[in-house]
Amino acid sequence: MCYQLITCPFCSLFCDDLLLQIPNDLSTLQIPNCPKAHGHFMQLTQNYQSLPKYRGASISLENAIQHAAYSLQKARQPLYAHLDTDVQGMQAVFSLMEITKGILDHDHGSNFLLALQKGGCIGTTLTEIRQHADLVLWIGKVDLTANWPRFLEKIGDRAQHVVLGEVIGLSATDSIPISEINILDCILILRALLKKRVVQVSQVAGLSLNDLENLLNRLRGSQYGVIIWEQIADVYLIQNLCELVQELSQFTYFSVFPLLNNPTAIQVCTWELGFPFRFNWLERRYDPWQYDGQRLLKTQEVDLLVWIAHFHPPKLPDTKILQLVFSPFEPLPTQSPNVLWVPVGMPGIDQAGQVCRLDQVVMLALHQICSLGLLSLSDVIEAIVYRMSQR
């Protein structure tokens, strides 16, 4: 009996140790202990409904493509967002933006890239954490159980863990429950103490100055420390974390490891455009404030939202404008019914693809293991472009 190794596409760890019997037989698929992978594989491979939907009602693929082409052609400034896709998917998005122009933003990596531009940062990889790290400092709220079930397996059990916030799925740690707003105050005090400056407070967010000095001593006394966070909205906090790492590196080795949701789009933008996200295609200009996708939706400066979600069920923003969603998963219900969902094939399930792993140093191949009867994102966009050219 012959098996092949396949890569799981459902989080940016992209675990490549799943086993599938040759010829492909999904009933033989062997998935390690990962509830997220089990759930998504079951959802996509059993009783899958592939008809597009507009405002909750099923329509034909032909009508969906026609309506998408009309909406894109009519839009004055579309916003392309989320961008949870593979290399070929991003290249297809670029081919569409060549015609429609618009704004490009990513809702998970933009704040980190913005902080990175202020002064750089020291990063690390999964292998380095596993082999060298002896202290991990978690920042903010991180849900390992729901979003990264196998992350602790990847980094091993060599390191001690300290939590400033809450980490779901992590046990045997020194945990300090604290809100994101108060975390910034703590980081600023840690930086001041590290520089031996006078601190004129006795406590911060319920932590005494002595507690913070003890934490600093643990950070400074480590041989290889890592700061990990999942989603932090405050760019200033991310920037201070990066600067804290640079300052700690004068005493020991320290690095950051942000848990980004599929950094493939970040890498492809760098290769293809030479710009990060928050980019205006028409003006060929980058502006991290003016082209912030959330701000544009809030101020209604865009009139169409194009949402790409290959690997996770779409969680759409609350907006009144039309949302054109390309995803194998039907979008989760929102207050706004103005949604056109066009199901597309998923790399790693019913088509091949290439993705960039979480630590952004390894590209992995995704293999086709079954057929859902869906067109790829590239094929759907090609059909939309063709329909636009016929108008």
pLDDT band at 202 (very low <50, low <70, confident <90, very high): confident
Nearest to 379 by CA among 340, 357, 347, 332: 347
In Å, what is the CA distance from 37 to each residue of 164, 197, 261, 314?
28, 49, 15, 17
The dihedral sign for the CA sequence 381, 385, 390, 391: positive
CB proximity list for 279: less than 8 A, separation 6 or greater: 103, 104, 105, 269, 273, 285, 286, 291
Q: What is the pLDDT of residue 172?
A: 67
The single residue listed with the structure tokens 């809450």 is 166
Q: How confident is the model over 294-309, as a mean pLDDT?
A: 94
Q: What is the pLDDT of residue 63?
A: 96
Q: Which amino acid is at 252?
A: T
Q: What is the pLDDT of residue 86?
A: 95
pLDDT tens digits along 139-182: 999 999 999 999 999 999 999 999 998 899 998 677 777 877 78
**DSSP-assigned states of every residue in 196-225:** T-----SEETTEEHHHHHHHHHHHHH-SEE
- What is the share, in percent, of the chain residues with pLDDT greater than 70? 94
Q: How confident is the model over 38-66, as a mean pLDDT?
A: 85
CB proximity list for 303: less than 8 A, separation 6 or greater: 75, 76, 77, 78, 321
Query: Is it the case that residue 385 has pLDDT exceeding 90?
Result: yes
Q: What is the pLDDT of residue 213?
A: 92
Q: What is the pLDDT of residue 312?
A: 86
Q: What is the pLDDT of residue 369?
A: 84
pLDDT tens digits along 242-276: 999 999 999 999 999 999 888 899 889 888 888 87
Q: What is the pLDDT of residue 341?
A: 95
Q: What is the pLDDT of residue 56?
A: 87
Mean of per-residue pLDDT scores for the chain? 88
Q: How confident is the model over 289-313, as a mean pLDDT?
A: 92
Residue 323 contacts residue 293 (beta carbons within 8 Å): no
pLDDT band at 83 (very low <50, low <70, confident <90, very high): very high
Q: What is the pLDDT of residue 327?
A: 93
Long-range CB contacts (within 8 A, 24+) of 145-150: 145/35, 145/169, 146/36, 147/11, 147/36, 147/230, 147/259, 148/11, 148/13, 148/259, 149/11, 149/33, 149/34, 149/35, 149/36, 149/37, 150/13, 150/15, 150/32, 150/33, 150/34
Q: Is 286 exposed, middle or buried (0-12, 13-18, 19+ CB in 10 A)?
A: middle
CA distance 108 to 266: 10
Give the domains, in start order, of the chain with CATH numbers. Answer: 3-42 (no CATH), 48-108+263-389 (3.40.50.740), 111-258 (3.40.228.10)
Q: What is the pLDDT of residue 3?
A: 59
Q: What is the pLDDT of residue 189?
A: 93
